[in-house]
Structure 1
Amino acid sequence: MTKLTPIQRLWRLLKLYKPEIRQIYTYALVIGIVNLSLPLGIQAIINYLQTGELSISWILLVTIVLVGITAAGLLQVLQLRIVENIQQDIFARSAFEFAFRLPQIKPRELDSQHAPELANRFFDTMTIQKGLPKLLIDLSVSSFQIIFGIILLSVYSIYFIALGLFLGFALFLLVKITGRIGLETSIKESKYKYNLAHWLEEIGRVRRTFHLSQNQSFHLNKSDDITVDYITSRESHFRVLLDQFKSFIGFKVFIAAGILVVGGLLVFNQQMNIGQFVAAEIVIILIINSVEKLVSVWDNVYDVLTAFEKIGFVTDMELQDSAGKSKINKNGPCSIKLKNATFHYSTDNEPIIDNFNSEIPIQSRVVLTGKTGSGKSTLLQILAGIINLDKGEISINDIPYDHLDRKSLHQNLGVVLASNQIFEGTLRENILVGRQISDEKLMGLMTKLEMNDFLKSNSKGLDLILDSGGRRTPRCIIQKIHLARAICHNPGLLLMEDPLVNIPKEERKSIIKFLTDKAHQWTLVVITDEDDWIANSTQIIKL
């Protein structure tokens, strides 16, 4: 897939809001035209004042100028309303895109990335939100203001046309030369910003390690190194902005001087009256103000384009493929076949699983054993469809994974991984994860897993709020929650990685008997070296 540039990402987003942006630019066009009523009206008013008589025409002109100013203000309010709607929609789109994509990203894409850190990039959505009003309103209004101002001045004299063309060409040249450098330095600055945020998260995550460390300054020194990199890159970006600002000041002074000198000479030569000269001065002020707005907007342009680049890093990641159409029966037992299965991680030279063949019949109770690093956890993730084989074939109920509807697999799958999978939410939410199961059935499962004492010890029962990662929750309870989550929907395939290591021995025996009972239809595959599991197994696979 071809990588999009930040500008292409911006255009792709703006295409979603074509009608709204068309309205914004239409209003900006009208505002630019209406604003011309101010210098033209003042020119006419001064001409009438020079007659020394108060007339109805003078009052009418004053009224027209005031109406023009009011109309321009109302149109700006309408622009703000439209942009606010776009901002809200962008936030909602981005929130759901991140929520959808993060669980679906291919594991290979995350080999060198820390998935929680990627969520930080969502905050660049707010950068886009804040920058859009300036891009869509200030940029458009200022541009039209400069264009119409130059057009109006050219009506007074052909010399003003040359000044306008010079200004346009000089601005284009400046953006062309410094724009790319400014964007590169902005992206580099953002990179170190995220590096620092990630390191601070790491400090928070393992804070006790740093608190008890003999070297109390290690985390501070690393923070200092990243901060120095950030400040250095920010200074480089600021120099680009400073050069652009100096150039804009030069253009502003040159245009102001040129128009004042040309206008003054035209008045002296009686080719322009005093009313036209005052109107021209007002136009000059409007143009200068518009140029200053362009200067202030330019930093926002870099921020917005950089934000698109950082968000695009996540949205460009390849997602798990679930295009298969073949489905497996819900709650039905599963058989598994592996033929010449080969897999290696991108960081490894040798495959961790190499030409592996095995067959697991339905309702088997399989124990996976092997030394550390033999590929047990990897094989479990392959069976779950979390990661894909490099070579070979894996099939469930004689359906190859490539042809399998992954949704039907996930509905018929229960998984217990060694990593802590507790999220902030109620006990019920952590077990069901959106599934619809009655509390009566759920309480029966709690009894089987010997969680009744825990439920009785708190007044909220299934509505107890668990902290992220299960903080303040005993490890044995966390493992039982993982087990309940895996089996509450009666899966056809149950995959577990050391699921009972933190549970007391007596409870462990009864839970093993419950999970391996032939009354359950599921096919069970568990990574363990425990004798009780092996004694209740029907098949042992050693890696």
Structure 2
Amino acid sequence: MDNANSPLQRLQKLITLEREDIGILITYGIGIGVLSLATPVAVQALVNTIAFGALFQPLLVLTVILLVLLGFSNSLVALQFYVVEMLQRRLFVRIFGETAARLQQARYVVNNEYHLPELTNRFFDVVTLQKTASTMLLETLGYVLQTVIGMILLAFYHPLLLAFDLFFVGALVFILFGMGKNGLSSAIEQSKAKYIAAAWLEDIASNQILCKSSENRTYLDTQTADIAQNYVDACAKHFKVLSGQNIGALILHTLANTLLLGMGGWMVISNQLSLGQLIAAELVVGAMIYGLTRLGKTLDNFYEMLASVDKLGYLVDLPQEKNKGGVLNLAEAPFKVDIENLTLPGGIHLDALNNAGLQIASGSRLVITEGVEKGSLFDVIFGLRQPSSGRVCFNGQDLRDLNLGLLRDTVCLVRDAEIFSGTLLDNIQMGRALSLTDVRQTLVHVGLADTVADLPASLETNLLPNGSPLTHEQCLRITLARALIGQPRLLLLDNVLDRIDNRVLPKILDYLLAEESPWTLIVASQRADIITRFDRKIKLHNGMLSDIKSDNQGVS
């Protein structure tokens, strides 16, 4: 998977999507920043008023004005909080929906490089992104805007205070970019180490029998310690950068405080600044440099936010199947399949295809007895893999010209048990408008009617992702039932029947091979009792398909 976009580029895209709300937050922030000057300006006016003689009426007017301004400022803060909450919800829903869609449309070859269930753990970084983005928008953005507005006010007081502004900005830029040049990369390394640890725990949880041996536990404990040390090392590397920036911020905090006091006092003594202006400047700078004491935490949030965006990018960047193309000219008859000159290099995950060809008439039932152990031929027919050359046609239409999603409504591939959390009925219906009568009849065909009837909740029994309380073999039959009830025009069974209970297998074969069944059937099997039930038998040898009887490639 190619992570072409940097975390900053990904963050920019998110900001672009939410630009309206972020624009509102900036507007509110500017208003809050301007209104935050109400207190120092009021103090300046109060000091000057007292210096020229204390009067109650000006004090009362000043107090009322300050009350109104601060009340309005806090109203804007409350509105900011509401906008950020809405933005957080929308961020979660958008990323959740996009991740679900991209996982559904992910190219099948991704499974050769990644363990998708483990990869989806990156989605939990959306919570980190929500919280850090909230902090950055509510606190950091407000601090930056107040600082900019405060520095503008100081610049109007005296040229030396303008020089102070420039010194402050220059030092801050050095702390952020000069001292933090490795901050993002070390934060990403720390995040990767975290997910390595999570993946290891997932491996342990998935192999419970393996963990019961004392010798095996010793090995697992050693690996656990190594992974923990890797995480600690990554944390130490990131903390080194963060700590340096934090120390730099605290030094700047100390210098800015003392420098302003010294400069301001000298300017007051020299009659270049009034006492009220000095106090106002101290209040403004106090608000500015307060953020420096929290800069370490602010930067930590910023790095976490970028690391979260980087991890979510692994899900966003999943290679996608094409979702365009024409619609197959559907007919009530089973599909005619033409395999023409297919070539696919062999490998660890692939059966080699070498100019393979085969014609399969509508309604045919055939079994492939050897050479397809890795399922490559079924992958190509189902559109999961692209051959190097050649093509597959359904009813004379090239697979490459068809919309795969729509095609698979009428072409079914069953390879292993596929169960999701939900009721048994949901796992069969999959949202389709199927009657309970049809569901129960299909369960009869796969030999599960009595088993389901014996369950306390029958069809409403909740299944775990591992299929419990059903056995794996029963879950395999549930998956087969899901395919059969849709009455597909082409049914592909990849070594499925070999794993079916012998007591129900003959009945299932009777239904699959019945003349009235509406599909063309292609089965992969190595079991003699299954192979003998088929009139046509095919083998894949040296990358070429051939009929076992005539041994002539491409016999129809």
TM-score relative to the length of structure 1: 0.95
* Equivalent residue in structure 2 for 1:405, among 403, 406, 420: 403
Q: Structure 2: which amino acid aligns with 1:483?
A: L
Q: Structure 1: which amino acid aligns with 2:380?
A: I
* Equivalent residue in structure 1 for 2:514, among 514, 517, 524: 517
In structure 2, C-alpha distance between the alignment counterparts of 1:255 and 1:267, rounded to whole Å: 18
Q: Structure 1: which amino acid aligns with 2:511?
A: F
Residue matched to 1:229:
230
Q: Is it true that 1:265 corresponds to 2:256 in the alignment?
A: no
SS in structure 2 at match of 1:214:
helix
1:271-304 Cα deviation digits (max 9, x unpaired): 2222222212211211111333444321111111
1:79-158 equivalences in 2 (<5 Å):
79-158=80-159
> 1:2: Cα distance to partner?
8.0
> Is residue 142–residue 294 contact of structure 1 (8 Å, CA) maintained in 2?
no
SS in structure 1 at match of 2:46:
helix
> 1:195: Cα distance to partner?
0.8
Residue matched to 1:365:
365
1:454-489 Cα deviation digits (max 9, x unpaired): 122123211111121113312332222121011101
> Is residue 335–residue 397 contact of structure 1 (8 Å, CA) maintained in 2?
yes
1:29-428 equivalences in 2 (<5 Å):
29-212=30-213, 214-329=215-330, 332-344=333-345, 352-370=352-370, 374-375=372-373, 377-418=375-416, 420-428=417-425
Structure 1 residues 191 and 131, CA, compared in 2 at 3 Å: closer, same or farther? same
Structure 1 residues 504 and 35, CA, compared in 2 at 3 Å: closer, same or farther? closer
SS in structure 2 at match of 1:329:
coil
SS in structure 2 at match of 1:411:
coil
> Is residue 365–residue 536 contact of structure 1 (8 Å, CA) maintained in 2?
no
In structure 2, C-alpha distance between the alignment counterparts of 1:110 and 1:476, rounded to whole Å: 23
Residue matched to 1:527:
524
In structure 1, C-alpha distance between the alignment counterparts of 2:361 and 2:80, rounded to whole Å: 65
> Is residue 346–residue 353 contact of structure 2 (8 Å, CA) maintained in 1?
no
Q: Structure 1: which amino acid aligns with 2:103?
A: L
In structure 2, C-alpha distance between the alignment counterparts of 1:244 and 1:266, rounded to whole Å: 32
Q: Structure 1: which amino acid aligns with 2:56?
A: S
In structure 2, C-alpha distance between the alignment counterparts of 1:232 and 1:370, rounded to whole Å: 50
In structure 2, C-alpha distance between the alignment counterparts of 1:346 and 1:46, rounded to whole Å: 83
In structure 2, C-alpha distance between the alignment counterparts of 1:290 and 1:27, rounded to whole Å: 19
Structure 1 residues 126 and 534, CA, compared in 2 at 3 Å: closer, same or farther? same
> Is residue 339–residue 358 contact of structure 1 (8 Å, CA) maintained in 2?
yes
> Is residue 182–residue 240 contact of structure 1 (8 Å, CA) maintained in 2?
yes
Residue matched to 1:474:
471
> Is residue 423–residue 459 contact of structure 2 (8 Å, CA) maintained in 1?
yes
1:131-168 Cα deviation digits (max 9, x unpaired): 11222222221112211222222222110101101211
Residue matched to 1:8:
9
* Structure 1 unaligned regions, length at least 5: none
> Is residue 351–residue 376 contact of structure 2 (8 Å, CA) maintained in 1?
no
Structure 1 residues 237 and 4, CA, compared in 2 at 3 Å: closer, same or farther? same
Q: Is it true that 1:459 corresponds to 2:460 in the alignment?
A: no
Structure 1 residues 531 and 110, CA, compared in 2 at 3 Å: closer, same or farther? closer
Q: Structure 2: which amino acid aligns with 1:17?
A: E
In structure 1, C-alpha distance between the alignment counterparts of 2:214 and 2:406, rounded to whole Å: 48
In structure 1, C-alpha distance between the alignment counterparts of 2:432 and 2:535, rounded to whole Å: 31
SS in structure 2 at match of 1:342:
strand
> 1:52: Cα distance to partner?
4.3
SS in structure 2 at match of 1:501:
helix
Q: Structure 1: which amino acid aligns with 2:368?
A: L
In structure 2, C-alpha distance between the alignment counterparts of 1:518 and 1:317, rounded to whole Å: 42
Structure 1 residues 72 and 345, CA, compared in 2 at 3 Å: closer, same or farther? farther
> 1:192: Cα distance to partner?
1.0
> Is residue 413–residue 492 contact of structure 2 (8 Å, CA) maintained in 1?
yes
* Of 61-70 and 22-31, the range deviating more from structure 2: 61-70
> Is residue 495–residue 523 contact of structure 2 (8 Å, CA) maintained in 1?
yes
SS in structure 2 at match of 1:207:
coil
In structure 2, C-alpha distance between the alignment counterparts of 1:132 and 1:207, rounded to whole Å: 39
> Is residue 146–residue 290 contact of structure 1 (8 Å, CA) maintained in 2?
no
Give the count of matched residue pairs.
Answer: 539
1:168-216 Cα deviation digits (max 9, x unpaired): 1222233222444100000011111111101101100112211235332
Residue matched to 1:542:
539
In structure 2, C-alpha distance between the alignment counterparts of 1:179 and 1:101, rounded to whole Å: 34
SS in structure 2 at match of 1:254:
helix
> Is residue 331–residue 412 contact of structure 1 (8 Å, CA) maintained in 2?
no
* Structure 2 unaligned regions, length at least 5: 541-556
> 1:129: Cα distance to partner?
0.3
Structure 1 residues 531 and 328, CA, compared in 2 at 3 Å: closer, same or farther? farther
Q: Structure 1: which amino acid aligns with 2:385?
A: I
Structure 1 residues 215 and 326, CA, compared in 2 at 3 Å: closer, same or farther? closer
1:468-519 Cα deviation digits (max 9, x unpaired): 1113312332222121011101000001123233443242112111110011
> 1:84: Cα distance to partner?
0.7
> Is residue 427–residue 466 contact of structure 1 (8 Å, CA) maintained in 2?
yes
> Is residue 180–residue 245 contact of structure 2 (8 Å, CA) maintained in 1?
no
In structure 1, C-alpha distance between the alignment counterparts of 2:89 and 2:503, rounded to whole Å: 55
In structure 1, C-alpha distance between the alignment counterparts of 2:536 and 2:238, rounded to whole Å: 63
In structure 2, C-alpha distance between the alignment counterparts of 1:446 and 1:394, rounded to whole Å: 32
Q: Share of identical aligned residues, percent?
A: 29
In structure 2, C-alpha distance between the alignment counterparts of 1:170 and 1:111, rounded to whole Å: 49
> Is residue 422–residue 464 contact of structure 2 (8 Å, CA) maintained in 1?
yes
Q: Structure 2: which amino acid aligns with 1:468?
A: P
> Is residue 187–residue 306 contact of structure 1 (8 Å, CA) maintained in 2?
yes
> 1:48: Cα distance to partner?
1.9
> 1:360: Cα distance to partner?
1.4
In structure 2, C-alpha distance between the alignment counterparts of 1:214 and 1:500, rounded to whole Å: 38
TM-score relative to the length of structure 2: 0.93
> Is residue 342–residue 391 contact of structure 1 (8 Å, CA) maintained in 2?
yes
